[in-house]
Amino acid sequence: MYNENWLSAIKVIIFDMDGTLYQEDTFLERYIRYLLEETEHEGETEAAMSIGRAILAGEHAIQFGHFYHTEDDLGLVREGDRFVQGFTWDGAAIDEHACAYGPLSSQAPHLIHIGDPWGIATVLSHKYKLTEQKLRSAFDRVRKEMVLTPYQFECHSDLFRAIEELTAVEKKSLMTNTHLESGVEFMSYMQIRHLFEDVVYGANKPFGLQSYFTSLLAQGYQAHEILSIGDNPWNDLHPAKRLGGRTCFISPYPSSDPEVWDLRLNHLEELEQLMRAIQESITRRNISDGEDRAEAYKQEIQG
């Protein structure tokens, strides 16, 4: 299942948090409800939640892996550095219009990548022209709920144990775009802070990941020795791949992102297995290297 050669070379693993170390999407409908309550769009709440469910299931024209254009209220499909297709919320295709947008970089200030359930809510807040304050308020409210009864999410203790027992790598880091207060609350709830040498809250991925990866290269690590794991390809994987790193995409949802990753996982049990496979691969390599050195030394003495 795994490529033993490259697994055994891993020295640094960069983990995302939300959607990577736990998987939970029941918050989405509450998040959308909180966004729209007491606004002129409150009556559209059920329709908005229906859109959210359809995107999660891959049954909407606008999908995970697309970009949302905040000014034109469209979903855009990327191929390389350009857009090749687009969709309205009603599902109408805008092929030629999409091509006219030019390079992705020229539209960057107006784009939101739809990479995970949190991104769906962010996009809907722009669709309904809500304020940043309203988005932050709804975000903080739903995050508080997620660590309290009756909405608290399930912790995957076997995964956390596998990460803790992964001692063969040199560094385990966690980077999350979640702001400090909520990030600390989630880490405390899962009781996993001690698993990571570096933890970066408010990481500003994808740009923050690129900077962190570059800092690892400056410390002497080789790109192929660094593995980035996450559920949002644009934030968690594209920067690492562009710099030559290894990538693992974990998500239970369909994605239209055309990129090919080193590994594609769906569930936390698979990530747990990967952690154990990395530990075993590095350990076997170290034993083999030790045996080779011992044999070489023996031959040198006998010679």
pLDDT average, residue stretch 40-64: 97
Whether residue 288 is predicted with pLDDT greater than 90 in this model: the reply is no
Full set of structural domains in the chain with CATH: 4-23+155-300 (3.40.50.1000), 27-145 (no CATH)
Give burial (CB, 10 Å; 0-12/13-18/19+) of 74.
buried
pLDDT average, residue stretch 38-64: 97
pLDDT digits (tens, 9 = 90+) for 195-229: 999 999 999 999 999 999 999 999 999 999 999 99
Q: What is the pLDDT of residue 4?
A: 80
Sheet holding 263-265, edge to edge: 198-200, 171-175, 12-15, 226-230, 246-250, 263-265
CA distance 16 to 208: 12
> 3-state DSSP call for residue 113?
strand
Whether residue 234 is predicted with pLDDT greater than 80 in this model: the reply is yes
Q: Percent of the chain beyond pLDDT 70?
A: 95
pLDDT digits (tens, 9 = 90+) for 174-199: 999 999 999 999 999 999 999 999 99
Phi, psi of 288 (to 5 degrees): -65, -45
CA 19 to chain centre: 7
Amino acid in position 219: Q
Q: What is the pLDDT of residue 96?
A: 79
pLDDT band per the 50, 70, 90 thresholds, residue 95: confident
pLDDT digits (tens, 9 = 90+) for 119-170: 999 999 999 999 999 999 999 999 999 999 999 999 999 999 999 999 999 9
| Residue 259: closest CA among 64, 107, 19 | 64
Q: What is the pLDDT of residue 93?
A: 94
pLDDT average, residue stretch 3-23: 96
291, containing H or E segment: helix 268-302
pLDDT band per the 50, 70, 90 thresholds, residue 296: low
Residue 259 or residue 289, greater confidence? 259
